[in-house]
Structure formats: C-alpha cells, structure tokens
Amino acid sequence: MHHHALPRATRRNFRLNIVNGAVTAGSENSVGSPDRVMTTFAAHLTDNPILLGLITPLPGAMWSLPQLFIIPAMQRRARVLPIYRAASFVRVTLWAVLALAALFSRDTTILLLTLFSFLLIAGLAGGVAGLPFIEVTGKTIPPSQRGHVFGLRVALGGVLAIAGSQVVIFFTGPGSAFDFPVSFGMLFLVATVAQAIGQGAFTLVDEPDADTNIIRTRPSLNVFGSIWRSDGNFRRYVWGRTFAVLGGMASGLVIVYANQQLGVRLEMAGIYLFASSLLSPVFSMLAGRMSVRTGNRLPVAGGMLMMGLGWAMLLLAKPLGVREGSAETFMFVVYALLALHKGLLFSNMMALGLNITPEGDHALYMGAVNTWIGVLLLVTTLSGAIARLIGYEALFALTLACAAISAWAFVTLVEDWRDEAVVAT
C-alpha cells in the first residue's frame, strides 16, 4: 500500500512518528550525545576513568531495565500512550535542569551530581516510555510501512544530527567564544527544546484501543526459561546481542584514550561527532535497503565486524607511533568505522528481533531481551574500572574478541524475513 493511499489518521500518525524519531535521535546523536558531548563535558570536571566510563552505557542500561516490569501494566490497559506522556514529561524536565545547572553553576561537584542524576533518572523514564512506544507504533503503523517509517526516522534524524553537530562545534569547538561550562549549558538548552518537540509529537499520536480481554502470556522466570530452552534461534539472537554489548563497552572511552594516551585535543570531539553524523545515516539507509534483499542478519553481523576493526585500529595506534597531529587524523578512521557499525546496526537490529520473535508476543520477547541488555549495560559501566585495572590496550583486545563472537552468532541465525516481507506487502 502506498503512503498516499493510507487513511488520513494513519498518515498523521505516520508523520508524527517520523518527527518524533528524527528530532529526538537527531539531538541525542549531536547536542545531547552521551559518548561525545556528555563525556567531554565530564572530562572537563574529572579525569577519573571510572566515572567517565559510566556515562555512555548508563542511559542505555537505565532505558532497558524497567521494561520487563511495565509489561503487566501495559497488558491491562486499552491505551498505553498515557504512560509514555508521563515519562516524557519527566525526561524533558530533567533536560531543562541539566541545562540550567551548566549555565548557572561553577561548582564541579554540583555539575557532576546533576549530570549523573540526569543519566540515571532520565534513562529510567526513557525505559518506561520505550515499550509503550513500540506498542503504539505497532498499533498505528501498518506492517507494510514499518520499515519505511524507521528508515525515514533514521535518515531525517541523521540530517538533524549533522546540523546539531555544527551547533556543538559552534559552542564547544576550538574557536568557540563561550567558556566552560556555559558552552555546554547552551548545548543542553538546545537539546531540551528538541526533546520537547520530538517527544511532544509522539504524545499527539491517535492511539486506538487494544482488546484487553485477550489472554496474554504473563512475563515470569518460568516463561523465559521455557522460551530459552525451546527456541534455539532466539537463544542465538540473545548471544549475539550479549556479545555486541560487551564489544561496545569501550566506546565511551575512545575520546578519553585519544586525549590521555595519544595527545588528541578534547576540542576535536565536536568535529569527530560531525564526521560520524555525516556517515551514520548514509550507512543506515544503505543497510535498510540491503535488508530488503538479504534480510537483517548480514548487515548486523557486518556492523559488528566494523566495530572490531575500529578496536583493531586503536590497538595499532601506539605501535605505529601515531601521536598528536597524526593521531587527530587517525581518529577519523576509527570514528568512521564506529559510525559504519552504528549505521548497520541501527536500522536492522530492531527489525531482526521482530522477525525472529512470534507475532503477538513481540513485547514479551523484546521486553525480556531489553531488560537483560540493561543488566549487561550496567556491567559495561565498569569499562573505566576495567581500563584502570588491565590497561586500555587489554580492554580494546577484549572488546575486539567480543565483537567477533557477536558477528558469528548473528551470521548463524535463521531469519524468516522473506515470509515477513510477503505478509507485509
């Protein structure tokens, strides 16, 4: 069915969903980016690798953890958008608090406390909003249009991230007229406005009532135990995602390592962000188109190999004698590989999960995986402590091995994408 042939209400929901994805992702990948903006902000306040290593995985961990506990509340309700609305209000308020702290406080302790409180509470609120988002999208976007909607969310979000990374360079780059921490306060202010627009758009979606009389499978350890034992393919998907998370645990420390060990200036963070945000959406669109012909497992496995290559490059930096000026150029290659990884995974990981889990039980299966990933992400918040214990090089070697194992798990999956494609058209 062509977009224009859809009913008017569906077209409106379609547009609101795309605005939501584009504006929230565009700002979270630029002015509100955890691995570049927030880690760089914190690097001005502390050089403790344990604290700096926490910043990138925390929002993801907090997002994933509450999902399993929301399923029963969602199963009882005809509409789940009110849950999303309440959680969004909390998130936007916290963005505003973070912006105000950076604009008006000079106290290192207050700034660090505000940042970590934000990462914890806004992350949890995001998780509470996460499953209702998936559920409402499933209700309001017809199967034939879902891939299209996610593709447009990613592509437009990528364009906005390019604009946002220019804002990052303007306020925090080498030639910025703004001093720390006001420079970052301005970025967080822009992020607050963007998040209010993006999340506000989704709260306007017209959600139909669900049938609350259907008997749904309740989440329990017994249920998950029997799924784990009986579904070998799902088991492989979980292993793939497990090692993917472990393979990514050093990503927040890349800029810290480049700065402390290779002499790269912290002001370069915004420029790397710009380069990544140019590349990610291009790769994402290509991966989305590739998945129509090959399914989603190959792009996802390829993305994990790109991440592994990124860690291999970092391991080679010191033996090759890469320092300062040459290191600043060298890091573009590392960030390009990580952007390629992100692009290949972003479009395809969610679709792969939906294609290998049974219709009607997507929330149960995906909620379970997401909660497990949340627990794992909490473990990866120790990346800074691990780096301090075994050294950065040993950490990169470990993440390289995990990325390779993850790629293998995804390649060996069986995905019924053709049947899904036939049903969807």
The pLDDT score that the predictor gives to residue 53 is 85
Token code pair at residue 39: 């880690």
The full set of domain ranges for the chain reads 7-209+224-424
Nearest to 205 by CA among 410, 395, 16: 16
The pLDDT score that the predictor gives to residue 242 is 97
The pLDDT score that the predictor gives to residue 399 is 97
The pLDDT score that the predictor gives to residue 215 is 66
pLDDT tens figures, 260-290: 999 999 888 888 988 888 888 888 777 777 7
Gap between the Cα atoms of 343 and 12, Å rounded: 27
**7-209+224-424 placed in CATH 3.40.1390.10:** no
Arithmetic mean of pLDDT, 355-367: 76
Most confident residue range from 100-104, 133-137, 164-168: 100-104
Cα angle at 247 between 28 and 54, to 5 degrees?
Answer: 50
Report the percent of the chain where pLDDT is more than 70: 94
Return the HEC string of the chain: CCHHHCCHHHHHHHHHHHHHHHHHHHHHCCCCCHHHHHHHHHHCCCCCHHHHHHCCHHHHHHHHCCHHHHHHHHHHCCCCHHHHHHHHHHHHHHHHHHHHHHHHCCCHHHHHHHHHHHHHHHHHHHHHHHHHHHHHHHHHCCHHHHHHHHHHHHHHHHHHHHHHHHHHHHHHCCCCCCCCCHHHHHHHHHHHHHHHHHHHHHHCCCCCCCCCCCCCCCCCHHHHHHHHHHCHHHHHHHHHHHHHHHHCCCHHHHHHHHHHHHCCCHHHHHHHHHHHHHHHHHHHHHHHHHHHHHCCHHHHHHHHHHHHHHHHHHHHHCCCCCCHHHHHHHHHHHHHHHHHHHHHHHHHHHHHHHHHCCCCCHHHHHHHHHHHHHHHHHHHCCHHHHHHHHCHHHHHHHHHHHHHHHHHHHHCCCCCHHHHHHHHC
φ, ψ at 111 (rounded to 5°): -65, -45
189 pLDDT more than 50:
yes
